[in-house]
Structure 1
Amino acid sequence: MKFFRSLLAKYMLIILLAISIVQISYLGVAIFVLGITKTASGEFSSDVLLESEIEEQWHTEANNIKQASDHTVAEFFQKWQEQYPTASMFWVSEEGNLLTSVNVKEQLPTKWTPAYTTQFIKERYGGNPFTVMAFLGGDVSNGFIVLEISREAFNPPLIKVYDNYGSFLLFGVIAVILFFIVVSLLFFKGIRKRLLHLQEAMEIRDVDGLPIEIHVKKRDEIGQLEHSFNRMVCELRDSKQRQQKEEQLRRELIANLSHDLRTPLTKVRAQSYTISKETLSEEGKQALKAMETSIVNIDALIENLMSYTLLMASKYNFEPKNINVIRFVREHLTTWYPVFEREGFTIDIELQAFEPNEWRVDPLWLGRIFDNIFQNVLRHANSGKYIKVTTESTESYRAFLIEDHGQGMKNESNAKGAGIGLSIVDVMVKGMGLEWDINSNHSGTKIIIKNVIQSAKLGK
């Protein structure tokens, strides 16, 4: 049953149908040929006229005529005409006079001379029509009788059919071929339409971002492919739901873990502050300073982890507004200036005004972006002791550039957590419709935060 539902079975049915039509056509032609070769007696004759037999019969029957008269010859001609309706016959006397004639279409002379008779025999020999001459009663004095039959009468029945109905047969064969072509085209057109429908279903996405299921109409190979596609969509949907549940559990775990870590971290920070009030040796002061640095780093890591989790869950508050970014960055740098100065950094700030100065961004997000970048410089580029913040204006964008003279991001660092900090930068930059680039090598790192002009975006 599975085979009979397949496309192969359907196409084989088309081929068998075409072969059957051809066979029926040939059978019809055969019946038609037998019909036109039916004899007067009602029997089918498959005999082909032979020139030698007709010639022998004509001579024999002509010799058997005993009395040469108009009546006798007329009856003889009538008998032959019934057997060969298209044949022409005539009788020429010994004196050369044209006597009885039957079905003669060409103009014959009433008086036959020896010269004309010789010329007639020469022209008819081996030509068309087939010509037989015999002396009447076997006696030269009775003159001679002539039988003429067109050469086409000696052709086989199939050749006669082809000559008379060849154009119909040709059109019939062409019609069968066209029928087969049309049926094949319709068959493959249906296959192509179903495949294109399946392709469209693969490209269309549902609200969950997955392809939509397709209605299975037939149970052939394409139907099995559609069924497999639907099964794949169901498996993808189930997998995505499991992934979403796992992601939700992971976010809740990170959020709870971040909250649980901050409580003991706050206690450790309070205890370190109490210890700092006590009289400590030089080594104790250095150990306390290292502990405070670790506490700050851990707090920053927890904050980044919490922020990244909220960003991925689209739960981080986002309130864009138009702000003067030059003034905002300048004011934000004042809070970091003492930090870099305490670490011995050379600070180079060159902020030129934009045209216009206003960007539509979330101030908290933009501040968090610069905070993460500056923290990254402190942790990983501290060896270079240099930071530069400048602006850049082109026809296509307005940008802030942050440069350092560290060893580059490819070099290993004792500080941890830079990866998640820059991941937060990436999400926030793209979330506000900005762009950013990082160029890092062994001589330093340059980060560019761009606000692409609207006309340049449309050009892309």
Structure 2
Amino acid sequence: MSKKATMRDSSNRDRGVKRSFPGKRKMRFGRTLMSRYILLILAAVLFVPVILPITSIIYVVVVNNTNKENTAPYGDSTKISNLWTRESEKLDGATSEKINQRMEQLHRKYPKSSMYRVDQKGETAFILAGEDVDVSESTVDGTTMTTLKWTLNHQTTETRIPSIWNANTSLEFMKEASYRDPLTVVSFVGGDSEDKGQGFMVIEVPRYLLQKPQNNWPMELLYLGGLMMIIFLLFIIMSILFFARIRKRLIRLQTAMITPGKEGIPLPVEIRRSDEIGQLEESFNEMVHQLTDSRHREREEEQLRKRLVAGLSHDLRTPLTVIRGHMHSLHKEPLSTAADTSLRRMEAKMDDLSGLIDNMLSYNLLTSGKYTLKLEQKDVLRIVRETAAAWYPVWEKEQFEIDIDLPEEPLIWQVDEQGLRRVLDNLFQNVIRHAASGKYIGISTEQIHGEIALVIQDRGPGLQKDSDTKGTGLGLSIVDLLIREMGLRKRVDSSENGLRVCIYSGGGAGKPRT
């Protein structure tokens, strides 16, 4: 990687670190889920005390006023009174013929009403009887009377109109008209003008034409109940949609969290709203970006480490080879006993250093996938015996008690022979380094999960305590990697009495051959 590219990646990482935490950003209250939830609660609380009056007002104002069938045919009494007063004012100074013509026009508009006029002499000058009104004449105390007979609400009502009006007949007429049906409106011709000598005019209208028909309360109740039910269902649907959308967004976020991308890291999600869930999505995206940056840094560091280990392993082998050559030459020279002992210790440490370099190189190759294994059907017990025989002088030199108990029958596993020898060498080396205080090594077999397992045990301090000699841990790491690559399994039992390492085949390949 070039220096320029490294600086660019470092700059990108710095920008990633400086990104502000999204959860601390303030939101407008109107965009939060809390504000929407509060609106739903308010709608629920105000449903009965507010919605019920509103529906009643809607019914009274809208329905009743727009329903023509629910309107009085001639309007109300105020309308008729005002109409009659206005018409009388317009006829101020008009001739009898003009007054009669206007009354006829009004009668055609209100045919069920009766109209008549009394002139300035007190004589009944003009009568227009309404539809369904019977007209008859009679003489009472020498005065001719015109009788209008009404049939209203299954009752008969009479209006007697004298041909000559005087104080007595006028008072009697007004007394009867004040409480009876039909409605009687009297107005002087000319209205409130000073000249009252033009007579007066009367209109009589049946009251059923001035009253609204009675409301159909079952229909009103059905309407109000239906309207309230619609509003209630609307509230329920809005609540369901509100929580369904929240659930859908949470499920989408959960799916994104458990669905890995190409690199094993979830992909960012699309932020559609800037509410609480939107902040959670933004935090999740921030976490994904940080994990991605961390993965990239980890890969870069891993590549750098592998190159460093490979370079160090190659660079250290050359001086070690030169040193080994000079040490071999020293063996040919006459040396004192102390010098010969020091030389042999130096050779032992050189061997340890060479083994450490081999372990570093092997670990680097295994982690990078460049360590090639050739898996074949091999007798594992034969390989164990041969490896143990090579280590036998070392164990004797360290005064170990050697307990090898292996069956005669071959144990066939699908393994790489060199890889298995490397596993055994590292385990034996680990016993020498960390369990020397126990002075014991045992190699045997036993049944684990129905499989024959190879068991290597010692009587050292185990994994709970520090050993006398601390190592780098590369040996056991290489053992784990090789066992995994060969498809084997390992179980470690540690106690204060020692360490037991069991290696077995989990796929049924390790079976004795008879």
How does the TM-score come out when normalised to structure 1? 0.66
Q: Does 1:185 align with 2:218?
A: no
CA distance in 1, matches of 2:426, 2:234: 75
Query: 2:75 maps to which residue?
Result: 42
CA distance in 2, matches of 1:44, 1:218: 62
Please report how far the alpha carbon of residue 218 of structure 1 lies from its aligned counterpart in structure 2 after TM superposition: 4.4
Query: 2:430 maps to which residue?
Result: 376
Please report how far the alpha carbon of residue 41 of structure 1 lies from its aligned counterpart in structure 2 after TM superposition: 5.2
The residue correspondences of 1:60-459 to structure 2 (distance < 5 A) are 78=154, 165-352=220-407, 357-417=411-471, 419-454=473-508
Whichever residue aligns with residue 420 of structure 1, its letter is: L
- C-alpha change, 1:279 and 1:14, in structure 2 (3 Å) is same
Q: Does 1:29 align with 2:59?
A: yes
- C-alpha change, 1:16 and 1:408, in structure 2 (3 Å) is closer
Tell me the SS of whatever aligns to 1:445: strand
1:319–1:362 Cα contact (<8 Å) kept: yes
User: Which stretches in structure 1 are left out of the alignment for 5+ residues?
Assistant: 46-66, 82-156, 456-460
2:149–2:156 Cα contact (<8 Å) kept: no
Moved more, 216-225 or 302-311: 216-225
Structure (1/2) with the larger helix percentage? 1
CA distance in 1, matches of 2:417, 2:451: 20
Whichever residue aligns with residue 432 of structure 2, its letter is: L
Query: 1:138 maps to which residue?
Result: none
Whichever residue aligns with residue 444 of structure 1, its letter is: G
Tell me the SS of whatever aligns to 1:401: strand
Tell me the SS of whatever aligns to 2:469: coil
CA distance in 1, matches of 2:334, 2:474: 39
Q: Deviations over 1:256-312 (max 9, x none)?
A: 122222222222222222222222222222222221221111121222122222222
CA distance in 2, matches of 1:366, 1:43: 113
User: Which stretches in structure 2 are left out of the alignment for 5+ residues?
Assistant: 1-26, 79-139, 141-146, 158-213, 510-514
Whichever residue aligns with residue 440 of structure 1, its letter is: S
1:399–1:448 Cα contact (<8 Å) kept: yes
CA distance in 2, matches of 1:357, 1:80: 128
Q: Deviations over 1:326-347 (max 9, x none)?
A: 2222222222223323333222
2:458–2:498 Cα contact (<8 Å) kept: yes
2:444–2:455 Cα contact (<8 Å) kept: yes
CA distance in 2, matches of 1:410, 1:80: 120
2:461–2:467 Cα contact (<8 Å) kept: no
Tell me the SS of whatever aligns to 2:374: coil
Whichever residue aligns with residue 57 of structure 2, its letter is: L
More RCO (CA 8 Å, sep 6+): 2
CA distance in 2, matches of 1:206, 1:75: 93
Whichever residue aligns with residue 322 of structure 1, its letter is: Q
- C-alpha change, 1:3 and 1:409, in structure 2 (3 Å) is closer
Q: Deviations over 1:103-158 (max 9, x none)?
A: xxxxxxxxxxxxxxxxxxxxxxxxxxxxxxxxxxxxxxxxxxxxxxxxxxxxxx9x
CA distance in 2, matches of 1:326, 1:162: 102
Please report how far the alpha carbon of residue 430 of structure 1 lies from its aligned counterpart in structure 2 after TM superposition: 2.1
Whichever residue aligns with residue 334 of structure 1, its letter is: A
Whichever residue aligns with residue 248 of structure 2, its letter is: K
- C-alpha change, 1:4 and 1:258, in structure 2 (3 Å) is same
CA distance in 2, matches of 1:301, 1:41: 117
CA distance in 2, matches of 1:358, 1:264: 42
Bigger Rg over Cα? 2
Whichever residue aligns with residue 331 of structure 2, its letter is: S
CA distance in 2, matches of 1:200, 1:74: 85
How does the TM-score come out when normalised to structure 2? 0.60
CA distance in 1, matches of 2:363, 2:53: 78
Q: Deviations over 1:224-260 (max 9, x none)?
A: 4434433432332222112211111122112212222
Q: Deviations over 1:61-87 (max 9, x none)?
A: xxxxxx9xxx99995864699xxxxxx
CA distance in 2, matches of 1:319, 1:10: 66
Aligned residues: 354
Moved more, 219-228 or 441-450: 219-228
- C-alpha change, 1:254 and 1:404, in structure 2 (3 Å) is same
Whichever residue aligns with residue 384 of structure 1, its letter is: G
Query: 1:153 maps to which residue?
Result: none
